[in-house]
Amino acid sequence: MKKIWFFSIAFIALSVLYNCVSKSTAGEEAPKKDRNMFGHHIPRGLTKTSNNLTEGYVMVAVRNSASTYLINRKGEVVHEWKGNYEVFNQYLMDDGSIIQGANDVDYPVFGFGGPYGRIQKINWDSKMLWDFEYADEEQIVHHDFAVMPNGNILAIAYETWSYEDAVVNGRKSHLIPRSGPWMEKIIEIEPEGQRGGKIVWEWHISDHLIQDNDDSKKNYGNPGEHPELIDFNLGDSIPPAISQDSLDVLKSLGKGGRNLTLDNPKSDIHHFNAINYNPELDQIVFSSPKLGEIFIVDHSTTTEEAATHKGGRSDQGGDFLYRWGNPENYHRGDSTDQQLFGQHDVRWVEKGKHGAGDLTVFNNDVPNGPDSLDYSAIYQITPPINGNGSYDRIDKGSYGPDVLSWEYIASDTLSFYGSYISGAHRMQNGNTFINEGPKGRFFEVNPEGEILWEYLNPFRGTIHKPNGDPVNVKPATYSLFRVTFIPADHPSLIGKELKPLNPQPSEFKLPPPLDKEDKKS
């Protein structure tokens, strides 16, 4: 509830601000400052280009659509992969196929943005090669996954716990949803046939909890002495109960997400939203925006070792090797030490690229003081890793670094802001490609922060809800979860004819606002 009303109020406030700025500069030549994070009523398509750009394309999964587009530097669509469900995210393989998350139409229990339930592989000609469903009443894949060199998939998944499970593990009652929390796990899927998948490795956050609330529980301890574990009493209080009538109204307005009940608000207590794999280290990094932290765990363990505190290259089992962004969570700082706020898309800079081995992350909602609007930033950090794959802590007991290796923010802090989704990754030329997700804006910046190329997504699909109702186009009309720059020499593009599609896909136009008479009727 709190999040629903927050975004409604935020949208109204930002719209008012945008209109005020526009009126104050009417008749002037000076550019208007843009604070419309949803990108409505802003010219769309290619908005900036430069000479001597690195040749390549941009891969985009279209909002509310089963299509993924490949767009050239002129802003023209040159290829389309067509699926059968709404596409959530996508990765391009060397053979020209894509592996994507697909939004299953009838998954039970879970919801609120993020769950999708299917992982699919589609070839260059849109033939379905693999369609794996992992969605039932007890678990579902959500948000993100990573494709490993051996072709296996590392995916984030929710798993249900009962209210009693949470109590037994020492979580305070006012932090427990009445239906129980959705706990997080990571599963490694080995594709089998056209629809099968074998789970060959898994890691559960439930095996790495600590709490100082109830000394009668087996996981009792001091979180400040165990940063390798997660304090099970982090998180928000459960909101006051609402009536069934109020819930019905929310659903009639299309708010609250799928499968919302009176008992499950705030169920996703950790809300992992990104995962990335480092094959050289055999480590996994993932992000929890609710906790304001990124975490690294050892993948070299067996499943059995991953459930313990011993084993693997690190000999730390499935405990956290590293965490960064909010040391207050493990009693090594206070609120002034927090550096990540609602972050997304953490990933290692790949081998051969500038900053290789560092981590980049899209920091969505950086506070800017009581009298200023929050802003977004891209951070590059250099983790203090040792030769054996372990990580050092600095003098005060928290994990470094204290200083960023690189960052990008807009010089005015107004024109770059995405409160949710979004991402960034390092390009081969040393520049950084950024997706400002809510607005559907993606652009390339050089190390000095200069924007060299910019495009605003003009596309949106026409998928309807299972009952035939249309999906509300606002507020996130053009939003994009993931956007990826694909260099022209990528193996998947060798020998491919990449001419602009004729005709080009139709651009989506927002319907005009109702006039006073229409509103009355």
Structural domains of the chain, with CATH: 2-509 (2.120.10.30)
One DSSP character per residue, 413-469 reads SSS---SSS-EEEE-TTS-EEEEEGGGTEEEEE-TT--EEEEEE-------B-TTSP
Q: What is the pLDDT confidence band of residue 6, given thresholds at 50, 70 and 90?
A: very low
Mean residue pLDDT across the chain: 91
Q: What is the pLDDT confidence band of residue 2, given thresholds at 50, 70 and 90?
A: very low
> Partners of 465 in the beta sheet?
none
Q: Residue 19 pLDDT > 60, yes or no?
A: no
- What is the per-residue pLDDT for 477? 95
Q: Residue 7 pLDDT > 90, yes or no?
A: no
What mean pLDDT comes out for the span 368-380?
94
Q: Residue 413 pLDDT > 50, yes or no?
A: yes
Which has the minimum average pLDDT: 18-32, 278-292, 428-442?
A: 18-32
Per-residue pLDDT of 478-488, as tens digits, reads: 999 999 999 99
- What is the per-residue pLDDT for 31? 46
- What is the per-residue pLDDT for 4? 39
What mean pLDDT comes out for the span 411-423?
94
Q: Residue 110 pLDDT > 60, yes or no?
A: yes
What mean pLDDT comes out for the span 488-501?
97
Per-residue pLDDT of 242-270, as tens digits, reads: 999 999 888 877 777 789 999 999 999 99
- What is the per-residue pLDDT for 35? 65
- What is the per-residue pLDDT for 3? 40
Per-residue pLDDT of 143-168, as tens digits, reads: 999 999 999 999 999 999 999 999 99
- What is the per-residue pLDDT for 106? 92
Q: Which residues contact 22 (CB under 8 A, 6 or more apart)?
A: 32
What mean pLDDT comes out for the span 374-392?
96
Question: What predicted TM-score, i.e. pTM, was given to this entire model?
Answer: 0.92
- What is the per-residue pLDDT for 24? 37
Cβ atoms 153, 146 nearer than 8 A: yes
- What is the per-residue pLDDT for 516? 54
What mean pLDDT comes out for the span 319-329?
98
Instruction: Single out the residue of 435, 416, 438, 345 nearest to residue 63, CA to CA.
Output: 438
Per-residue pLDDT of 58-94, as tens digits, reads: 999 999 999 999 999 999 999 999 999 999 899 999 9
Token pair 């040159």: residue: 78
- What is the per-residue pLDDT for 258? 87
How far apart CA 2 and CA 49 sit, in angstroms, is 40
- What is the per-residue pLDDT for 333? 93
Token pair 């499970």: residue: 165
Q: Residue 1 pLDDT > 70, yes or no?
A: no
Residue 499 backbone phi and psi in degrees, to 5: -95, 150
> Partners of 481 in the beta sheet?
none
- What is the per-residue pLDDT for 238? 94
- What is the per-residue pLDDT for 159? 98
Cβ atoms 151, 267 nearer than 8 A: no
- What is the per-residue pLDDT for 251? 81
* Order of all β-strands in the sheet with 432-436: 45-48, 451-456, 441-445, 432-436, 423-426
Q: What is the pLDDT confidence band of residue 395, given thresholds at 50, 70 and 90?
A: confident
